[in-house]
Structure 1
Amino acid sequence: MYPPKFGYVIPDNLNEALEFLEEHQDARPLAGGHSLIPMLKLRLIRPSYIVEIRRFSNLSYITKDGNLYKIGALTTHYNISKSSIPLLSETASNIGDPQVRNMGTIGGSISHLDPSADYPAALIAMDAKVKITRRKGDRVVDFKSFAKDMFTPDLNPGELVTEIQVPTFEGYKFSYQKLERRAGDFAIVGVALLLKLSGDVIEDVRIGLTAVNNVAVRAKGAEEELLGKKLNDEIIEKAATRAMESANPTSDLRGSAEYKKKMVKVLTKRAILTALKR
């Protein structure tokens, strides 16, 4: 389908963009476009204006500030995949195809909040924070509270995501495992894992799931099963089984709810074993 008619606005700077978005509450910002344009073509949204923000180079960066990585909202998936950020870089490398990774941005992805997107599993496991900018100033929220529901971020009219912040997680092992029908597809099931060992005992563990709920969730039961334990085949099997407790998928053309739930177990086990090899 063809998108509906809309006006196209190219502001000179971020302040102009924020002002326009505040004054025209049905306007939508355009960064890489890989989330927005398909919705326009399907006429799921009908904005009066599209506001181009992709040329704001000051929103494309990755910096390390103490124990935090700060990532500009317009940073592409490709640049994140090459930045050696534990877990997040590996997750970015699994998004789409080379064209998508070179054009799509992390800010656009999380502002869209597709329930099958890859980033949310990693971001919720990493206790990420989201910096939101408006004309009156900034606010920083936990990613968990930012993701209110599918396709429903905590963004008010006139606000833009400008930065994502994640801890460095130095000394952690990690893995992102994804089930997809074809290379480059959205996840049928995605599991993101961070693991820290003290000797042979698990000191900390974080497991995020995507595509099995309206929003990404932590597999708390699996984490409880692993924390403070010595890893062996039995513990890994129990943890993978308990990961299914946090999954509430729906049946669709890509698989039944039962199948997806079982794949949570398979991918959780695979993520643990892969992380341990690092």
Structure 2
Amino acid sequence: MYPTNFDYQKAHSVDEALAAMAANPDLKVIAGGHSLLPAMKLRLAQPPALLDVFGIEELRGIREEGEMYVVGAMTTHAQIQRSGLPLFPEVASYVGDPMVRNRGTIGGSLAHADPSADYPAAALALGVEFVIRGMDGERVVPADEMFVGMFESSVQLGELLTHIRIPRNVQASAYEKFKHPASHYAIVGVAIARDADGQIRAAYTGAGEKAQRLTVLEERLNGGQPVGTGLVDSSGLLGDRFASPEYRAHLVDVLAARAAARI
């Protein structure tokens, strides 16, 4: 199927992109396009106009800044996979296939807030910060406040996710995933990270309407207890023809134990 007709505009700087969004609130931002374009082809999304931000150079690359790694939102999955960042390279290796990884971007994926995407769990486990810019200036959103609901993030209309800040004090991390055999999206994925002080953060994706912290697991591991079972309540989880809520809860337990054994 083909998408409906739409206007196309390309931005060459963040300021140009923000000005375009302010002038036309109907613009839908497109980065790598691997989330939006399939939805448009199925006509699940029918934006009247697209604003392409993929080529904005100031949104690319990885650098060290104090106690943080600063990652441009248009940095591709393939670049993340080859980097020396904590946890994210492992997670990037699970994303799609080589074509998707060479075009898709970390910022596009995180801002899209797909409940089955891999990166949100990693962002929560690492405690990253999201740098978001609008016409009124820049704000920083912690990972715990970034993912609001299904396909809903804290990036508001007229704003652009520009960078992701990742703590450099991560000593060990792991990601375990049970993937859909065709799409490779997470039916369940669990990410765990341990910092230099020995404190552990953990999160899961794929099982609920958004990625969430695994607070029960954190309390157990930080208290020197085994992973155990019953990490999440199945009553709040998604169910479909691939996995029931109860099976997803079971997968969280299994994948958490595997990830915890690696850190």
The answer to whether the 8 Å contact 2:203/2:214 transfers is: yes
Q: Which residue identity is paired with 2:62? A: I
Say if 1:195 and 1:10 are closer, same or farther in 2 by CA, change over 3 A. closer
CA distance in 2, matches of 1:137, 1:149: 25
The answer to whether the 8 Å contact 1:247/1:264 transfers is: no
Say if 1:197 and 1:245 are closer, same or farther in 2 by CA, change over 3 A. farther
The answer to whether the 8 Å contact 1:117/1:187 transfers is: yes
CA distance in 2, matches of 1:58, 1:246: 43
Segments of structure 1 that go 5 or more residues without pairing to the other structure are 230-234
1:52 deviates by 1.1
- Listed as ranges, the matches of 1:54-93 within 5 Å are 54-93=54-93
- Listed as ranges, the matches of 1:25-64 within 5 Å are 25-64=25-64
After superposition, the C-alpha distances for 1:101-136 in whole angstroms (9 at most, x for unaligned) are 110001110111100000000101111111111223
Q: Which residue identity is paired with 2:140? A: V
SS in 2 for 1:125: helix
After superposition, the C-alpha distances for 1:130-189 in whole angstroms (9 at most, x for unaligned) are 11112232111112212111111122222110001110134x221100001327610000
1:14 deviates by 2.3
1:246 deviates by 8.2
Aligned to 1:124: 124
Say if 1:214 and 1:226 are closer, same or farther in 2 by CA, change over 3 A. same
Q: Which residue identity is paired with 2:222? A: L
CA distance in 1, matches of 2:238, 2:178: 15
Which of the residues 199, 204, 210 maps onto 2:199? Answer: 204
Q: Which residue identity is paired with 2:121? A: A
Q: Which residue identity is paired with 2:178? A: L
1:213 deviates by 1.6
The answer to whether the 8 Å contact 2:128/2:165 transfers is: yes
Segments of structure 2 that go 5 or more residues without pairing to the other structure are none
Q: Which residue identity is paired with 2:242? A: R
CA distance in 2, matches of 1:196, 1:50: 40
Q: Which residue identity is paired with 1:103? A: R
Aligned to 2:17: 17
Aligned to 1:227: 222
CA distance in 1, matches of 2:145, 2:196: 29
TM-score by length of 1: 0.89
Say if 1:245 and 1:258 are closer, same or farther in 2 by CA, change over 3 A. closer
SS in 1 for 2:140: strand
- Listed as ranges, the matches of 1:116-265 within 5 Å are 116-170=116-170, 172-182=171-181, 185-195=184-194, 203-229=198-224, 235-236=225-226, 239-245=227-233, 248-265=236-253
Rg larger for: 1
1:38 deviates by 1.3
After superposition, the C-alpha distances for 1:202-226 in whole angstroms (9 at most, x for unaligned) are x311111101121111111111112
SS in 2 for 1:243: coil
